Every structure is written in structure tokens, then in C-alpha cells.
């Protein structure tokens, strides 16, 4: 879109520039020709180094922009981004290029592979599997019945995904009007699953708003796990059944999350951290350890507390 078209759409006056805006992205990842936004003060530190051509932000924050970056002033930047995201969403249609299927790959008769998809060698694609346009599946991959791989997803080598799992569905993102109406923030990113990952049945991994949701090499994910948009799961991490990661959670290497443990969004979990079953994480964890409970605490403290509570009840 031309910048003046975007300004008109968002009700920003005084913008007559006809520069071409090719896409939307975060402050840290945006490139020249892309538009970004600032809606949360915690990301102000990223604005000085942004390479975005245009940034949507509140009027009091305009002075933070580097020289040469154009401001689109908005009292509600998140709402502006939601309204604009629809116009950069990819259309739901197949490519005109026939799918590529590698040597030695078996595709069951009721699987459906969209044009533009690519599947590597020696894969097994079982009944009811759907692989979307422009998705890429590596070598030696097994997709069990009714796995759904949305468009643009990238799956590495030797990955196993069990029945009913969905890769790349929309993340749960909405801007909210003053009247309580919910305006969809279109999820225009993708999912990347690296080599040697195994994912259980009926798990969902949401695509990113911008960029990628990333499952790193060697991670093992159980059944019924929910991974939100823009999350990063570190190498060789283990997520047990019914774990939930809110959007933009980053797990370090070899993080272990017990059953029904969960994180709030935009947090970082230190490498080699273990979260016991039903642990609830509301703040970033900067030091590795074993943690339990809600509110979260060191596991040894949680055990002592449970022992003392038991004595109180018995007395």
C-alpha cells in the first residue's frame, strides 16, 4: 500500500507521501519499506535502532523516532495495527505451482496437499492430512492422520506430528474498542519447526502475528499443548500434556514444563529450568532452577510450605 492510503485508512492527517509499504513487522525486525508500531512502553528501547520506514505511535512518543522514520500518530496504536493488518493478510487461495513431493514419500489417498507446498524425501503423509500452500516439509517426516499444516509453515527433517495436531492456526489477538467490541489482529507470520522435533496429538501451535513462532531442534511436545503466537521453544525442551504458553513467551534450551503448567505472555524462561505440574509463571525467570506453585516459588520452598500447611490442618 502507499503510505498516504494507510494514513487515510487510519485517519491520520497531513500524510501525503506515496512511498510503498510492503509489509508490517515488529520494531526490532522491521526493514526499510515496512511499517511498525509502538503500543507498549516496554518496547521503547527498540525504537532507536528500528529500520522501519514508518512507525505508528502515540503523539507523546514521536520524539523517540530516529531521523528519517516517518510517524503516524495514533491515540490507540494497537487498534490501528489491527485495522491495518487485514490489508496485509495473505488471501486464502492456492498457488498456481503444483506441489513438489520428494522421492520415497508416501501420501495416503485422502491427504490433501495444496499447490505451492513442498514435501521432502521418505516422508509418510497419512489419511486426512492437510498441507497448505507454500508450506515446506523436510525429509523423513511423519504426519499422522488429520494433522493440519497451515500455509507458509516450515517443518524440518525427521519431525513426527501425531494425529489431530494443528500447525499455524491464527494466534488469539484482538484490539478492543471502547464499547467492548473485538477487532481481529490478523496473524500474518508463520510457524517454523526445526529438525528432530516430536509433537503429540491434538496440540496447537499458532502462527506469529509477524515473523515466526519457533520450535527449536530436538524439542518434545506432548498431547493437548497450546503454544501461542510468536513463542520460541528452546532446543531440547520438554512440554508435558496441557501446558499452555501465552503469546511471545521465550523458553531457553532444555526447559521442562510439567502437566498443566503455564506462562503469561511476553516472558523469558532461563535455560535448564524445570516447572513442576500446575506451576503458573507470571514473571520472567532469569536463573535456572526447579519451580512450583502459584504464585511461583522455588520447589524446595513449596515443599516446606505444603508440609507446614499439612501440620496446621492436622492440629
If asked whether residues 181 and 267 sit together in one domain, one would say yes
Residue 93 lies in a domain: no
Distance set, CA 263 to CA 185, 225, 233 (Å): 21, 12, 12
314: confidence class by pLDDT, cuts 50, 70, 90: confident
Same domain, 227 and 124: yes
Distance CA 72, CA 77 (A): 9
| Per-residue b or e along 219-242, where b marks 16 or more CB atoms closer than 10 Å to that residue's CB | bbbbbbbbbbbbbbbbbbbbbbbb
> Would you say residue 312 lies in a domain?
no
The pLDDT of residue 98 is 95
* Cell 493440519, located at residue: 148
What's the CATH code of the domain at 153? Answer: 2.160.10.10
What is the number of domains present in the chain?
Answer: 2
* 48 and 182 belong to one structural domain: no
Enter the C-alpha cell of residue 237: 525442551
Q: Which of 59, 88, 117 finishes a domain?
A: 88
- Sign of the alpha-carbon torsion through 125, 223, 152, 132: positive
| End position of a domain, from candidates 88, 110, 136 | 88
Over 80: is that where the pLDDT of 315 sits?
no
**Structural domain span for residue 44:** 3-88
In terms of domains, do 120 and 265 share one? Answer: yes
User: What burial class does residue 41 get, using C-beta atoms within 10 Å of its C-beta: 0-12 exposed, 13-18 middle, 19+ buried?
Assistant: exposed
Regarding whether 69 and 107 lie in a shared domain, the answer is no
Indicate whether 52 and 108 sit together in one domain. no
Q: Over the stretch 85-121, which tens digit does the pLDDT of each residue have? A: 999 998 887 788 999 999 999 999 999 999 999 999 9
In 10 A of CB 99, how many CB atoms?
18
Q: Residue 31 has which C-alpha cell?
A: 526493514
d(CA 94, CA 128): 18
Confidence category of residue 282, pLDDT binned at 50, 70, 90: very high
Of 46, 67, 88, the domain-final residue: 88
In a domain, 310, yes or no: no
Asked whether residue 153 is domain-assigned, the answer is yes
Active site residues: 229
Is residue 12 domain-resident?
A: yes
Q: Are residues 110 and 13 in the same domain?
A: no
- Planar angle of CA 54, 58, 64, nearest 5 degrees: 65
Amino acid at each position: 500500500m502507499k503510505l498516504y492510503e494507510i494514513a487515510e485508512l487510519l485517519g491520520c492527517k497531513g500524510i501525503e507521501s506515496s512511498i510503498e509499504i510492503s509489509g508490517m513487522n515488529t520494531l526490532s525486525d522491521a526493514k526499510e519499506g515496512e511499517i511498525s508500531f509502538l503500543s507498549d512502553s516496554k518496547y521503547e528501547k527498540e525504537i532507536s535502532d528500528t529500520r522501519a520506514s514508518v512507525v505508528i505511535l502515540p503523539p507523546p512518543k514521536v520524539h523517540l523516532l530516529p531521523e528519517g522514520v516517518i510517524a503516524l500518530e495514533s491515540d490507540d496504536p494497537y487498534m490501528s495495527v489491527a485495522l491495518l493488518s487485514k490489508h496485509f493478510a495473505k488471501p486464502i487461495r492456492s498457488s498456481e505451482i503444483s506441489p513438489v513431493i520428494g522421492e520415497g514419500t508416501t501420501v495416503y489417498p485422502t491427504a490433501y496437499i495444496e499447490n505451492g507446498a513442498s514435501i521432502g524425501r521418505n516422508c509418510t503423509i497419512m489419511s486426512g492430512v492437510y498441507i497448505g500452500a507454500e508450506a515446506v516439509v523436510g525429509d523423513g517426516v511423519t504426519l499422522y492422520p488429520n494433522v493440519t499444516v497451515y500455509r507458509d509453515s516450515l517443518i524440518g527433517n525427521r519431525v513426527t506430528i501425531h494425529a489431530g495436531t494443528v500447525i499455524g492456526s491464527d494466534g488469539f489477538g484482538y484490539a478492543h474498542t471502547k464499547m467492548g467490541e473485538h477487532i481481529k489482529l490478523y496473524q500474518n507470520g508463520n510457524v517454523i519447526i526445526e529438525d528432530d522435533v516430536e509433537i503429540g496429538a491434538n496440540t496447537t501451535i499458532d502462527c506469529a502475528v509477524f515473523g515466526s513462532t519457533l520450535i527449536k531442534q530436538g524439542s518434545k511436545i506432548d498431547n493437548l499443548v497450546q503454544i501461542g503466537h510468536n513463542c520460541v521453544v528452546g532446543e531440547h525442551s520438554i512440554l508435558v500434556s496441557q501446558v499452555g504458553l501465552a503469546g511471545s513467551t521465550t523458553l531457553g534450551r532444555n526447559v521442562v514444563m510439567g502437566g498443566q503448567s503455564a506462562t503469561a505472555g511476553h516472558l523469558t524462561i532461563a535455560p535448564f529450568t524445570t516447572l513442576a505440574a500446575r506451576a503458573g509463571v507470571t514473571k520472567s525467570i532469569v536463573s535456572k532452577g526447579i519451580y512450583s506453585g502459584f504464585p511461583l516459588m522455588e520447589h524446595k520452598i513449596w515443599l516446606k510450605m505444603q508440609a507446614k500447611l499439612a501440620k496446621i490442618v492436622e492440629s
